[in-house]
Amino acid sequence: MEQYKLQAVDLTKVFDDSKRGSVTAIDHVNLEVKDGEFVMIVGPSGCGKTTLINILGGLNTPSSGQVLLDGRPVEGPGADRGMVFQGYSLFPWLSVQKNVEFGLKMKKVPKDERSQIAKKYIELVGLTGFEQALPKQLSGGMKQRVAIARTLANEPEILLMDEPFGALDAQTRVVMQELLADISKKTKTTILFITHDIDEAVLLGDRIYVMSRRPGTVRAVLDVDLPGERTHESLVLPEFLQIKKQIMDMLWKESMDAALDQ
């Protein structure tokens, strides 16, 4: 039996809504992520993607099912899972260096050691020279680089990313995609990444989970096998366009079914 780094086993989440009664956000979702793999999740708006990743990160509890990390049940948040959100969540009064060091300081890592670790990851995300800058002095893309460096500095076993580039302009998003692909290649970090951008999913992912409309279920799992090194030139490859069309067709059908149900 294959050992997975992270597993969602029959996850269901039901929310109690005072106006609509019980609302099922995700329904019997099964998902596996292998060690060192870059897995993407795409789906229609409101399909439960964020609910799913919050459960995987231990920020929410499922109504049924379980989450396994290296085969062990997950109970609540943990340093083994680093999370990066669309909002940067930086401390505005702390410098880039101090923001990246923050988690290490909470773990009581000695000052000199955490300084060196922070510098390593600041360099990895391309922000050398900005160590003493405050968040208000940074662009959106630079803030997200700090958020990624801060998360990686804690050396999580898996990185959970919820549309981290969703608020960035198109040009900055391209830069950040290439940066993350490079980080993934250099660090071999296991990554689970939610996006609504199909190009982003195919460009970055080893596998893609396509979710249905609410209640969210796994509609399909697609392997991504593109020739050569992935760059934005890959967007015109026949293999890329074929996978993109598969996903677009599935999401189009989901939107049409939703319209018919209204």
Among the listed ranges 56-60, 76-80, 139-143, 256-260, which one has the minimum average pLDDT value?
256-260
User: Domain check: are 189 and 140 in the same one?
Assistant: no
Boundary residue ending a domain (125, 155, 185)? 155
- Average pLDDT (197-212) is 94
For 255, the token pair is 């939107």
User: Domain check: are 171 and 143 in the same one?
Assistant: no
| Residues 71, 118: Cα–Cα separation, whole Å | 31
User: Domain check: are 76 and 166 in the same one?
Assistant: yes
The per-residue pLDDT for 104 is 92
Structural domain boundaries, residue 96 = 86-155
User: Is residue 209 situated within a structural domain?
Assistant: yes
User: Is residue 212 situated within a structural domain?
Assistant: yes
| Residues 166, 168: Cα–Cα separation, whole Å | 6
For 188, the token pair is 């071999």
User: Is residue 251 situated within a structural domain?
Assistant: no
**Local structure of residue 229 (DSSP, 8 states):** S
Global pTM value: 0.91
User: Is residue 243 situated within a structural domain?
Assistant: no
User: Is residue 118 situated within a structural domain?
Assistant: yes
User: Domain check: are 10 and 100 in the same one?
Assistant: no
For 168, the token pair is 């960035």
User: Domain check: are 18 and 141 in the same one?
Assistant: no
Sheet bearing 64-69, strands edge to edge: 21-33, 6-17, 64-69, 72-73
Q: What is the pLDDT of residues 147-180, one digit of tens each?
A: 999 999 998 999 999 999 988 888 889 888 988 9
CA dihedral 39, 15, 74, 154 (to 10 degrees): 60
| Residues 42, 83: Cα–Cα separation, whole Å | 17
| Mean pLDDT, all residues of the chain | 90
The per-residue pLDDT for 1 is 52
Phi, psi of 71 (to 5 degrees): 85, -5
3-state helix, strand, coil in the chain (%, to 5): 40, 25, 35
% of the chain beyond a pLDDT of 90: 65
User: Is residue 25 situated within a structural domain?
Assistant: yes
Choose among 45, 67, 26: nearest CA to 194: 45
User: Is residue 249 situated within a structural domain?
Assistant: no
User: Domain check: are 46 and 170 in the same one?
Assistant: yes
Domains contained in the chain, number: 2
User: Domain check: are 8 and 71 in the same one?
Assistant: yes
User: Domain check: are 5 and 108 in the same one?
Assistant: no
Query: Can you give the CATH number for the domain in which 47 is found?
Result: 3.40.50.300
User: Domain check: are 65 and 106 in the same one?
Assistant: no
User: Domain check: are 2 and 74 in the same one?
Assistant: yes
Q: How many residues are there in the chain?
A: 262
User: Is residue 231 situated within a structural domain?
Assistant: no
- Average pLDDT (241-246) is 94
65 pLDDT more than 60: yes
User: Domain check: are 67 and 163 in the same one?
Assistant: yes
113 pLDDT more than 70: yes
Q: Which residues are within 8 A (CB) of 203 and not within 5 positions of it... i.e. 6 or more apart?
A: 177, 181, 230, 232, 234, 235, 240
Boundary residue ending a domain (155, 175, 208)? 155
Angle of CA points 248, 253, 256, to nearest 5°: 125
User: Domain check: are 58 and 163 in the same one?
Assistant: yes
Boundary residue ending a domain (94, 123, 155)? 155
